[in-house]
Homo-oligomer: A and B are copies of this chain.
Amino acid sequence: MTRQEATHTQRIPLNKDRVLRTAVALADATGIDALSMRRLAQELDVVPMALYKHVANKEELLDGMADAVVGEIDPPASGPDWQRVVRGRILSARRVLLRHPWAARVIESRTAPTPAVLAYLDSMAGSFRDGGLSADLTHHVMHAMGSRLLGFSQELFDTSDPSGPPDPALAAHYPHIAELAATAAHDEGSTVGGGCDDQFEFEFALDLLLDGFEGLRRQGWTSARAKASHRP
């Protein structure tokens, strides 16, 4: 009996939710580049054109996948400490996006923010406002959380698998990177095979920014004042 026949016997009616869930699972398993309408249809034991009853086109499929993933992020906890609330939410988002490595790129490729992304950002802004940050400061803070300062933001140096010994030619050409790699190698605190402790690095950046935000809040920061005294 072929696989096709086997699945046919237990055929579930197609709906948008099942299309999206299967697409997410397929992208998790095979990567986003291998996700095609035809391949997805095959996975659902359906003729390719059947998908177009539930999504207008592939862009709408990707919109739906982005929303499905963002919907997995925990809602914000409540509590008096806004830094703690925001911190927990951000770390939840990080866990979700580590589960779906293709998702960040898909979300960033949407031309307009999707509803779940808007909801996520909205409640994030709400957490800052509840913490006593002014609307103005919250605005800047939200931008700061979304910016990529180097211009691109590949989570740098994918040293998770430093296959083989460090390349001596690389060390000669890029001495500072070699030095940083050396500090990472010494520092085998919590990771298994050497390389960087990505979780630590993430929290380092997060806490630095959150502390910076809190400092500004305490000063009663307003953008007019900051702009006036801005560096030339």
Contacts and interface: CB of A to CB of B under 8 A. Distances in A.
Interface of A: 73, 90, 93-94, 96-97, 103-105, 107-110, 112-113, 115, 118-119, 121-126, 129, 135-136, 138-140, 142-158, 170, 173-177, 179-180, 182-184, 187, 189, 196, 200-209, 211-213, 216, 223, 226-227, 230-231
28 contacts: A73-B151, A90-B149, A90-B151, A97-B151, A97-B152, A108-B152, A118-B173, A118-B174, A121-B156, A122-B176, A126-B176, A135-B182, A142-B156, A143-B196, A144-B201, A144-B204, A146-B148, A146-B150, A147-B153, A147-B201, A147-B206, A148-B153, A148-B155, A200-B223, A204-B226, A207-B231, A211-B212, A212-B212
Given A108-B105, A153-B146, A174 B205 contact: no
A104 to B, nearest CB: 5
A149 to B, nearest CB: 5
Q: Which of A136, A153, A226 has the most CB of B within 10 A?
A: A153
Contacts of A107: 151-152, 154
Given A104-B151, A113-B157, A209-B209, 10 more contacts: A90-B151, A104-B153, A105-B108, A105-B109, A122-B176, A124-B150, A138-B180, A139-B183, A189-B227, A200-B223
Contacts of A118: 170, 173-174, 177
B156 A146 contact: yes
Contacts of A205: 143-144, 147, 149, 209
B93 A139 contact: no
B122 A202 contact: no
A156 B146 CA distance: 6
Contacts of A124: 150
